[in-house]
Structure 1
Amino acid sequence: MKQIVPLLLVATLAGCGQSDSPRQADVLTVEELAADPARLKELRQQCKTERAQLGDVLCNRVAEATNQRFFGEGGTPYTPPEESPRF
C-alpha cells in the first residue's frame, strides 16, 4: 500500500505537465496580426468556427487586431460639417 500512493502521485503529476508545443496565442501579438491582413482574415474565420480549439486568448487578440485595423490609431478627431444636413 505504501508503494502505490507515491506511484499514483507521480502518475498524476506527470499527466498535469505543460504541453510540448507552444500555443499560437503565446506567439502572435496584436501588432503582428494587424500587420498581416491575410493571416488575420484566416484566423477570424477560424475563431468563428473553432473558438474552443484556438482558445479565447488568441481570438481576443484577433478581435483587438481587427479593431485596430478598422479604427486605426484614433488620431483623427471627428469634425462635424459646418452646415447641418437637410433631409
Structure 2
Amino acid sequence: MIIKKAGKTIDLTVTEFELAVFLIKNKNIVLSRERLVQEVWGYDYIGESRTIDNYIQKLRKKLDWRDRIKTIFKLGYRLEE
C-alpha cells in the first residue's frame, strides 16, 4: 500500500497501512494493544506480544511520526495531531 506525505511516496505493508488508517480514524484516543490487534489483525489478543510495538516503531520511522504516536504507559498508544 502507498501513502503520500508532503509529495513523497511511502511504501507500507498492508498491515502497516491498516494500522495507520485505524490510528488516523481514532486520533487523540488511547488505543490498547488488545483493541489494535482485534481491529487490525482480526483476532483476540493473547498474552504478551511485541508485534504491536514493532509495527508502531515501523510507522514512527516510515511516516516520521516519532512525536505523533505517543506510548501511554500500561495502556497503549495514541496518535496526536
Common topology (TM > 0.5):
no
Range of TM-score over shorter length: under 0.3
Q: TM-score, normalised by structure 1?
A: 0.26
Higher relative contact order (CA 8 A, sep 6+): 2
Point out the structure with the larger helix share. 1
Q: TM-score, normalised by structure 2?
A: 0.27
Point out the structure with the larger strand share. 2
